[in-house]
Chains A and B, each alone.
Chain A
Amino acid sequence: MKLEREMMRGAGPTAVLQLLSSGEKYGYELVESLSRQTDGVLNLGQSTLYPMLYNLEAKGVVKSKEKLGPNGRIRRYYRLTARGKKKLEADRQQWTALVQAMGALGVTRQGGFDVGLPSGLATEGGAV
């Protein structure tokens, strides 16, 4: 299933922040994680991800740095800033309220999602 553009625009940044909450990541890693962990629902193409990362950086919620990777190649790594962590927390609360509200209306099926966020956004370490 693929999300509509407007839905993706709202969910994408929060999803990226959530992925970065577990540590710094580079672009391809983020693309792959999003695709894999959401079963392709939040499959952000490069054309969306990199501009989104630049925008998040401009807002001061992420910070980037070029570093030599383990394979000896230069990559740009992104990590959350303090502001980014606050933003993620605020986003979480909003998403929780939204999902609950949609569930109350019968728009969402409670069994199909984790508490608050779509199950695909659960980190490898556990539910959000």
Chain B
Amino acid sequence: MSEWFPTFYAVWQTPWRELWHQFRYTPIRDLIRLRLSGRLDWKSNLAATDLATDIRQQVTDVVKATRLWPLEKAEITTELIAHFQDGQLAGKSHESLLADFGDTQTVAKLMRSGKMRNRTLLWRTCVSTLKTFSVLAVLLSLAYGLLAIWLYSAAPNPTVDFLAELNAPAQSSPLADQAWPIYREAWIEHDIKSLNTYDQLTDPVYTYVIGPDDDRWPSSIEFLDQHASLVDAARIGGRLPGLGLQLYPDWRDYPEEDYLALWGQTSVEWQREHPEDSTEAKNPLLLGVLLPHAQEFRSLGYILEADMLRSAEAGNVSRVIEDWHAMLGLSPQLIEMPSTVCSQIASAVRSQALRAIGRVLIEYPDLFDQAQLTCLRQRIESDSARDFFTSEPLFYLDDLLQNVYSDDGNGDGRITAQGLTILNRIVRMYGQNNEQADDRFSKLLVPAEMLRAVSRKDVRQIIEKWNDENSVDYTKSIREQPLRVTKVDEYLSHYETRDPCTWRVLKMMLIGSDDARKTVEVAEAQRAAVLVGIAVTEYRLRHHRWPRDLDELLPTFLSDVPPDPVTGDSLKYRLIDGRPVLYSVGGDRDDDGGLHPVNKYEVFSSDPNVVPEDGDWLLWPTNSPQD
């Protein structure tokens, strides 16, 4: 109590400012003991001594230079004050005391290391661990940096102009065989890019071409009349064996007329008003070569089918056949430039031609004579949609590889930074992986990704293997194909996290594989059905009635009944409301009597994970208002 009261009284008398000062410079251990010692304020303690100024300065310099914790500094100050005061008491001059003291920095350094050794084991362990990790981090960063330099030093060395090779068939075909000059003139005249043929001639919901029994038919007729020269160009051009269109790496490389035909008047005006677009970097890849003509072939298909229906309605058989041959001729012209996209559109246009002739057969059963029907059958038998996909070109792959990977001269190499930039840009175009590509942290991981990426040779082998498997699938019907659990996305997901670089390459090359396979299957099923449809029509022509079953067609009109593409049993045939219907039982393998499913696109799927919808897969007639 006697010690406590004076302390309390002194505190009570101290002005607040000084109290705060004391508080600031009191160690926690003293505060816990309710003592405002203020002993951390070593400068004030030093200033309060009777030591000479130069000695005080020396002590200050040493204590500051130790860079120790406040309490440690205070302890050293106290010790040095006592030391110098003892020296003075012993009669030594402050000059000799200073001379004996030694160099400021050396003393500070030694004191610092001595005091630090007195710190707790935990603190010293933490510091040494931190130092060890820091050294390791520096070494690893250095190694990673060297690795990055090594990886970034590789550059692609493209040597082959694959576009020239792809353009070769178009370039070598005789001018008289080329449809492009005919199309070009008509496309420019009618500005096909702004025509919007799809909305003008088809039902937007069910996607069939509007026919004579539809309220919108008069406007279709008006459209055909207004664009008669375009219809003529499609009919004449479609029967030529070649297209003759040269493709260029960049839209700016096209001749003026080609550009006007392919991009339309609106685009030309846009370019005139926005010259800055012309300064963009040019596309370096074959994969990036645009196919500006491809979608317009769908437009030509709609125009020709509409004209077929008008001709059938008018009883103009020869024009119906001409239109139909022209429709079938569009597909080979498209695949003059071999690419998956062209193959898919070619297959779709060919399917449309098959549906169109099937529709005319059912709606105008007396239109064709026997010779014409035979001619139609022979034409259908002569080609197969499988032909469009069996020889998937590796030009695209090789062009991508030569622009993305380095070249060791033996067909191998490693992924390059420039190549990765190209891949990222293209992957972004597909709307995926934006965040990853833009993330700065992810960029730091790029060298690690590059190190993990498989080599150029291995990537080629992976894609060749995939293509080989797909090519085998294209030659088989749905029921013969193995249950392909591994689809493209699943196949790619294996690489996406394990090897993102290779994933980007594969993503470029394998997109659309599943869709292509499905397109082929649908086209082949339709082809078989239309051939039976022609036989049924021939039967009616001779017997003036539809056959009761398909066996009645054997062997005069049909050598054998084609199999149901799903089950392998005979294709199903029924007369519904006096009209023949050919169908497959569909994915549910259940005969629903020719019942149309609610969603006709899900009745068939090669994907075993898709639950098939109830209903049948109608093959003839199909895609007509009666469906």
Point out residues on A near B: beta carbons under 8 Å: 26-29, 31-32, 45-48, 50-55, 57-58, 66, 69, 71, 73-76
B side interface size, CB within 8 A = 25
Tell me if A75 and B118 are in contact (CB < 8 A): no
- Asked whether B366 is an interface residue with its Cβ less than 8 Å from the other chain, the reply is no
Quick check: is B127 within 8 A (CB to CB) of the other chain?
A: no
B79 contact set on A, CB distance < 8 A:
27, 50, 75-76
Closest 5 CB pairs of A and B: A54-B114, A47-B102, A58-B117, A51-B110, A28-B86
Closest residue of chain B to A49 (Cβ to Cβ) is B83
Partner of B101, one of A47, A55, A66: A47
Quick one: which of B83, B106, B111 contacts A54, CB cutoff 8 A?
B111
- Tell me if B85 is interfacial: C-beta within 8 Å of chain A: yes
Within 8 A of A (CB), among B184-207: none
Query: How many whole Å from B424's CB to the nearest CB in chain A?
Result: 56
Q: Which of A52, A53, A54: most chain B Cβ within 10 A? A: A54
Q: How far is the CA of A69 from the CA of B118 in the complex (A)?
A: 24
Q: How far is the CB of A6 from chain B (nearest CB, A)?
A: 16
> In the complex, what residues of A have CB within 8 A of residue B111's CB?
50-51, 54
Cβ of B128 within 8 Å of any chain A Cβ, yes or no, is no
Given A26-B82, A76-B82, residue A46 in contact with residue B101 (CB < 8 A):
yes
For the complex, is B411 an interface residue (Cβ under 8 Å from A)? no
* Partner of A66 from B78, B103, B106, B113 at Cβ < 8 Å: B78
A73/B82 contact (C-beta < 8 A), A46-B100, A46-B102, A47-B103 known: yes
**Are A58 and B114 in contact, with the CB atoms below 8 A?**
yes
A76 to B114, Cβ gap below 8 A? no
Interface contact A48-B83, CB-CB below 8 Å = no
Given contacts A50-B110, A51-B111, 12 further A-B contacts (CB under 8 A): A26-B82, A27-B79, A27-B82, A31-B83, A46-B83, A46-B101, A46-B102, A47-B106, A50-B76, A54-B118, A66-B78, A74-B78
Question: Pick the contact of B114 from A45, A51, A73 — CB < 8 Å?
Answer: A51
Q: Interface code B99-143, partner A: CB below 8 Å = 1, 0 otherwise?
A: 011110011001101110110000000000000000000000000
Give chain B residues whose Cβ lies under 8 Å from the Cβ of A53.
114
* A26 and B87 alpha carbons, distance in the complex (Å): 12
Contact across chains for B75 and A76 when beta carbons are under 8 A apart: yes
21 A-B residue pairs with Cβ-Cβ distance under 8 Å, sorted by A, are A28-B86, A31-B83, A32-B90, A45-B100, A45-B102, A46-B83, A46-B100, A46-B101, A46-B107, A47-B101, A50-B83, A51-B110, A51-B113, A54-B118, A55-B114, A58-B114, A66-B75, A66-B78, A71-B89, A73-B85, A76-B79
The distance in angstroms between the C-alpha atoms of A74 and B39, with both chains bound, is 12
Asked if A29 and B100 sit within 8 Å, CB to CB, the answer is no
What residues of chain A lie closer than 8 Å to B118, measured between beta carbons? 54, 57-58
Main secondary structure of the interface of B (DSSP, over half): helix
| Residue contact B86 to A52, C-beta cutoff 8 Å | no
Residues on the B chain within 8 Å of A48, using CB: 102, 110
Contact between chains at A54 and B102 (CB < 8 Å): no
Residues of B within 8 A of A73 (CB): 82, 85
Distance, CA A71 to CA B89, complexed state (A): 11
A52 touches B107 (CB 8 A): no
- CB-based nearest A residue for B119: A58
Within the complex, what minimum Cβ distance (angstroms) separates B537 from chain A? Answer: 107
Taking CB atoms, residues of chain A closer than 8 Å to B83 are 27-28, 31, 46, 50
CA distance A55 to B103 in the complex (A): 19
**Nearest Cβ on chain B to A19's Cβ, whole angstroms:** 16
Q: Which residue of B lies closest to A50 (CB)?
A: B111
Contact present for B102 and A26 (CB under 8 Å): no
Min C-beta distance of B493 to chain A, whole Å: 58
Bound together, the chains give a CA A52 to CA B90 distance in angstroms of 23
Chain A residues closer than 8 Å to B90, beta-carbon distance: 28, 32
Q: Contact check, A47 vs B107: say whether CB atoms are below 8 A apart.
A: yes
In angstroms, Cα B58 to Cα A46, docked, is: 13
Contacts of A46 in B (CB 8 A): 80, 83, 100-102, 107
Chain A residues near B101 (CB-CB < 8 A): 45-47
How far in angstroms is the closest Cβ of chain B from A2? 13
Q: What's the nearest-Cβ distance from chain B to residue A79, in Å? A: 15
Set B76, B82, B113, B115: member contacting A74, Cβ < 8 A: B82
Residues of A within 8 A of B103 (CB): 47
Distance between Cα atoms of A46 and B79 in the complex (Å): 11
CB closest residue in chain B, given A55 = B114
**Contact assessment for B86 and A26 in the assembled complex, using a CB-CB cutoff below 8 Å:** yes
Residues of B with C-beta under 8 A to A32: 90
Shortest C-beta distance, B288 to chain A (Å), equals 69
Complex interface: chain B residues within 8 A of A54 (CB): 111, 114-115, 117-118
What is the bound-complex CA distance between A29 and B82, given in angstroms? 11
Interface centre among B79, B85, B103, by most A CB within 10 Å? B79
